[in-house]
A = this chain, B = another copy of it.
Amino acid sequence: MVGWPDRRFVDLVGTEFPIVQAPMAGAGGVELCVAAIEGGALGSLPCAMLSPEQVRQQVTEVRGRVSGPLNLNFFCHRMPEQVDDGAWRALLRPYYDEYGVEVGNGGALRLPFDEQMCAVVVELRPEVVSFHFGLPEAELLGRVKRSGAVIVGNATTVDEARWLEDRGADAIIAQGFEAGGHTGRFLGSDPGEAMGLFALLPQVGDAVRIPVIAAGGIGDGRGIAAAMVLGASAVQLGTAYLHAPETRISDTHRQRLTEGGTLFTNLMTGGLARGVRGRLVDELGPLRAEAPPYPLASAALAPIRAAAETRGEYGFGPMWAGQAAPLGEALPAADLTRELAADAVAILHRRG
């Protein structure tokens, strides 16, 4: 297939299409990653909630099933000191009672990239490593780079894009506020200044020399083509793949994707993330000061979530989705990838 106006990203990572399947911790995984690679995208494994051994197992499985460039995604937040989450537990008390569970810590916390994980990455040699919430410390980053991986960072502002380029990123995701899941904002913190992709993408493209990957609000071939026109070398799609049968989400979550309407909430982890409404958001409101800082809020919520899910209720766990969710099509991920690429190329060639 010919016709991509900017081949910098595909030439850098060696994929057929300039499409990155977003990792999506909690929803993505081996099945989605394999299918995305089969379709010609850069497949991603979300590793922030995995142990080093689980990462090794998943990479081995992907490598055994498909050949093609692979991206491993990690988080680089700083873990907060253990905080008093008494106010948060008190707020959740009625749900503990309703579901007959004990207050307690449970569920896998999102953990930052560390020494142990770095050793596994260097051993596994993924073609691409992407980081959310900044970058790991220079020594660890240097080891990943020297292993041959292309380093991808995530920027929500022009300042963050420059910061990432200065510290050695090879490509930058420009994450518009339309994106589902956690906003990767890591410099400054005023959510009121969150930028839409339409304004963010060309400003990031003007500010850095490395390829830019557009993310947030891109739901179909039109969005991919428009991102290219605004200067992107590639796109990262998350919500578009959520509709695919290979993602591990509840039927409730899947159905709500088509209904539209998303908002930022801090109830699920303590960090700001975009998703569809569920019972907890409806009843507490999406933003609560009682929630402890990212990623600690998920711990006290975990027993309630687990009990609710055994009853088929999904309103206590993340149902992340971006603003383009209603544009998605429920196709297998490989077919979806090929269709999105073909649509985008057709649109780019139809112009004029």
A interface residues with partner B (beta carbon < 8 Å): 3, 5, 158, 176-178, 190, 192-193, 195-200, 202-203, 206, 216-220, 222-223, 225-231, 260-264, 286-287, 322-324, 326-327, 347-352
Contacts and interface: CB of A to CB of B under 8 A. Distances in A.
A158 to B, nearest CB: 7
A218 to B, nearest CB: 7
B222 A196 contact: no
Contacts of A260: 158, 203
Contacts of A195: 178, 323
B229 A225 contact: yes
Contacts of A324: 198-199, 202-203
Nearest to A326: B203
Given A176-B198, A197-B198, A192 B230 contact: no
A350 to B, nearest CB: 7
Closest 6 CB pairs of A and B: A196-B196, A199-B323, A198-B217, A199-B217, A226-B226, A178-B196
Q: Which of A190, A219, A223, A227 has the most CB of B within 10 A?
A: A223
B178 A199 contact: yes
Given A176-B196, A198-B216, 12 more contacts: A5-B351, A178-B196, A193-B261, A196-B196, A196-B323, A197-B197, A198-B226, A202-B223, A203-B260, A203-B326, A206-B327, A349-B351
B219 A230 contact: no
B327 A202 contact: yes
Contacts of A225: 229, 351
B327 A203 contact: yes
11 contacts: A5-B351, A176-B198, A178-B198, A178-B199, A198-B198, A202-B220, A202-B223, A222-B229, A225-B351, A229-B351, A351-B352
Contact of A198 (B190, B223, B286, B287): B223
Contact of A5 (B158, B203, B350): B350
A276 B260 CA distance: 30
A178 B193 CA distance: 10
Contacts of A230: 222-223, 226
Contacts of A261: 193
Contacts of A203: 260, 324, 326-327
A222 B216 contact: no
A231 to B, nearest CB: 6
Contacts of A351: 5, 225, 228-229, 348-349, 351-352
A352 B3 contact: yes
A327 B352 CA distance: 24
